[in-house]
């Protein structure tokens, strides 16, 4: 058998198979039922075309032409239903179908379209066409163009999942049209005619593309149907061999083979069904999980929004409390008794603490909502550090057991950097404040140096305080991270300051890290920023 003939038979068999798979994947769906008809007609068309060369006679040529003319309306009816999800009462489709049916009978039973045919053994044939042939050719070409037009328009006007599906359909139809055009019209110009039988065969392109488009969301089911089809085909094939066996010995061998194949086949189908069911279960779970996850994210966002709103509302009264208590302490409201002074200064301190907690929460909710806005500008890091230390002076002075030292090693160095001044100030203040808070007695050494070799400005806060245990150290920059020894020393912390600091430092493309030899052995916090000057 010639290779082209083999290709033709394989294509026809595959088309029937795909049509069956699509049909059985959802037999109630009219799109699938119509598609099964399309693939059957196409497969029959392929066969009639190949039979022209095998049995060159007028009957098969007429059959091939007749099938060809009903193929395009069949595709059109399917496509129309597929695109509109229902039967439309399109008058155009009705006219096309009725004329196609008339032309079908004319092709088959009269000489109006094919009058007389002489077939050459090369696969080509000389035909004497009847008077209605131009109408036949026009019908075929016009309906083909109309189908391509509908598919292209649907693709252009669609979105999302539908667009992907329509893309496959349009590509399949264009691929089919391209091969038909090339082998029938372009190649013959160069004397190449032996590929003409491939024209109908190329319908496999569009049958495959459409099968894929329909089955995309039902692939698990398809696996079972395909396994069943292959196994049943194998059984029928061996059964035929049993029936046509000529000797007893042959019958026994074939029958044994059949028994073995049936047993293995049943196991195979069962295991595929089992696997498919499990996969479907997993897929369902994954979808449920995705849903739950989306809901959690939504709740988390709502929570952050609420915290942001609530803390924002707390700020205004806190500012008033801070302002008025400070005015009273400064004597702006007249002299107050010593006892009242102690009480008001407690109010003032507590308000400050509360304000800083509210700020921490507000910062965290902003980070989570992604609503932190940075305004970068050129600033001098040395000036910034000195400013922060000046502002923290009252706190530093209050810690009488702490020996504080600020060291800016090279005052002439270029300390310019690109940064959001207020945010970086917050980080520096937090580190210095922590070192004082967590050093009940000892030294705090703040330094800023320019590391020439690594071209980095290094800001360091070193203390001899309570230190950090190796277990806590890696989690220090996470939300709510507070060590036990910190709770004992300073019960007011939130464990949010370093988390916020890390976010801010990351936004600056800089780095922050903590070092400590262990509990009770002090700690060092290091921030490294790239200077502006090259």
Binding site for ligand ADP (CB under 6 A): 430, 434-435, 438, 463, 465-468, 476, 481-483, 486, 493-499, 523
Q: Which is nearer to ligand ADP, 12 or 466 (CB)?
A: 466
Q: Minimum distance from CB of 474 to ligand ADP (Å)?
A: 12
Nearer to ligand ADP, 459 or 499 (CB): 499
The single residue listed with the structure tokens 């026994």 is: 252
The secondary structure of 28-40, three-state, reads: CCHHHHHHHHHHH
Taking the least distance from each CB to ligand ADP, the nearer of 215 and 505 is 505
Minimum Å distance from CB 384 to ligand ADP? 19
Q: 3-state DSSP helix/strand/coil percent for the chain, to nearest 5?
A: 70, 10, 20
What are residue 466's phi and psi, to 5 degrees? Answer: -70, -15
Please report how close the Cβ of residue 499 comes to ligand ADP at its closest, in angstroms: 6
Q: How far apart are CA 119 and CA 115, in angstroms?
A: 13
CB contact at 8 A, 67 and 41: yes
Give the nearer residue to ligand ADP in terms of CB position, either 134 or 474.
474
Considering the complex, what minimum distance in angstroms separates the CB of residue 226 from ligand ADP?
59
**Residue 477 DSSP one-character state:** T
CB of 329 to ligand ADP, least distance (A): 25
DSSP state of 184: I
Specify the residue, 170 or 486, whose C-beta has the smaller distance to ligand ADP: 486
Find the shortest distance in angstroms from Cβ 522 to ligand ADP. 8
| Integer Cα distance of 313 and 15 in angstroms | 69
Residue closest to ligand ADP when measured from CB atoms: 493
CB of 141 closer than 8 Å to CB of 83: no
Determine how many CB atoms are found less than 10 A away from the CB of residue 71: 21
Minimum distance from residue 519 beta carbon to ligand ADP (Å): 9
Give 228 or 463: the residue with its C-beta nearer to ligand ADP. Answer: 463
Nearer to ligand ADP, 199 or 463 (CB): 463
Q: In terms of CB distance, is 309 or 480 closer to ligand ADP?
A: 480
The pair of three-digit structure tokens given for residue 51, joined into one six-digit string: 């039979």
Do 504 and 426 form a contact (C-beta atoms < 8 A)? yes
**Residues 473, 470: Cα–Cα separation, whole Å:** 5
Query: Are 147 and 80 spatial neighbours (Cβ–Cβ below 8 Å)?
Result: no
Other beta carbons within 10 angstroms of residue 125's beta carbon come to: 16
d(CA 56, CA 119): 6
In contact, 532 and 416? CB cutoff 8 Å: yes
Q: How far is the CB of 444 from ligand ADP (least distance, A)?
A: 8
């Amino acid at each position: 058998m010639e290779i082209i003939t083999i290709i033709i038979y394989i294509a026809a068999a595959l088309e029937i198979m795909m049509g069956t798979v699509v049909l059985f994947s959802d037999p109630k769906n009219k799109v699938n039922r119509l598609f099964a008809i399309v693939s059957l007609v196409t497969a029959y068309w392929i066969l009639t075309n190949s039979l022209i060369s095998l049995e060159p006679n007028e009957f098969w040529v007429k059959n091939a032409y007749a099938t060809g003319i009903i193929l395009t309306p069949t595709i059109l009816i399917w496509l129309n239903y597929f695109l509109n999800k229902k039967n439309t009462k399109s008058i155009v489709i009705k006219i096309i179908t009725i004329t196609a049916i008339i032309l079908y009978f004319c092709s088959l039973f009269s000489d109006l379209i094919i009058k007389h045919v002489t077939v050459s053994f090369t696969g080509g044939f000389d035909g004497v066409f009847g008077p209605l042939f131009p109408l036949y050719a026009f019908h075929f070409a016009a309906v083909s163009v109309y189908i391509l037009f509908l598919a292209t328009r649907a693709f252009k006007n669609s979105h999302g999942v539908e667009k992907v599906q329509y893309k496959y359909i349009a590509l399949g139809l264009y691929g089919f049209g391209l091969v038909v055009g090339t082998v029938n019209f372009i190649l013959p110009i160069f004397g190449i005619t032996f590929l003409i039988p491939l024209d109908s065969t190329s319908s496999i392109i569009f049958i495959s593309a459409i099968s894929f488009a329909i089955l995309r969301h039902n692939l698990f089911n398809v696996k079972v149907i395909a396994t069943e089809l292959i196994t049943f085909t194998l059984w029928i094939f061996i059964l035929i061999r049993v029936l046509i066996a000529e000797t007893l010995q042959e019958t026994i061998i074939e029958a044994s083979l059949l028994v073995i194949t049936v047993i293995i086949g049943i196991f195979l189908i069962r295991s595929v069904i089992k696997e498919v069911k499990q996969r479907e279960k997993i897929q369902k779970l994954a979808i449920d999980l995705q849903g739950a996850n989306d809901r959690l994210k939504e709740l988390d966002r709502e929570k952050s929004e609420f915290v942001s709103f609530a803390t924002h509302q707390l700020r205004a009264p806190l500012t008033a409390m801070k302002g008025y208590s400070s005015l009273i302490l400064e004597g702006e409201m007249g002299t107050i008794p010593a006892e009242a002074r102690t009480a008001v200064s407690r109010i003032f301190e507590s308000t400050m603490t509360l304000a800083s907690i509210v700020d921490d929460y507000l910062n965290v909710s902003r980070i989570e909502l992604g609503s932190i806005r940075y305004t970068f500008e050129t600033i001098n890091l040395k000036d910034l550090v000195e400013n922060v230390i000046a502002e923290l002076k009252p706190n530093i002075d209050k810690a009488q057991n702490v020996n504080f030292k600020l060291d800016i090693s090279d005052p002439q160095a270029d300390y310019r950097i690109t940064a959001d001044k207020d945010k970086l100030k917050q980080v520096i203040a937090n580190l210095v404040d922590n070192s004082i808070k967590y050093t009940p007695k000892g030294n705090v050494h703040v330094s800023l140096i320019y590391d020439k070799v690594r071209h980095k400005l290094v800001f360091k806060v070193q203390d001899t305080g309570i230190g950090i245990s190796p277990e806590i150290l890696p989690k220090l920059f996470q939300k709510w991270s507070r060590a036990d020894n910190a709770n004992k020393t300073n019960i007011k912390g939130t464990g949010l300051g370093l988390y916020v600091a890390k976010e801010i430092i990351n936004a600056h493309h800089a780095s922050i890290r903590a070092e400590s030899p262990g509990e009770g052995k002090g700690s060092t916090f290091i921030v490294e920023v790239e200077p502006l000057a090259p």
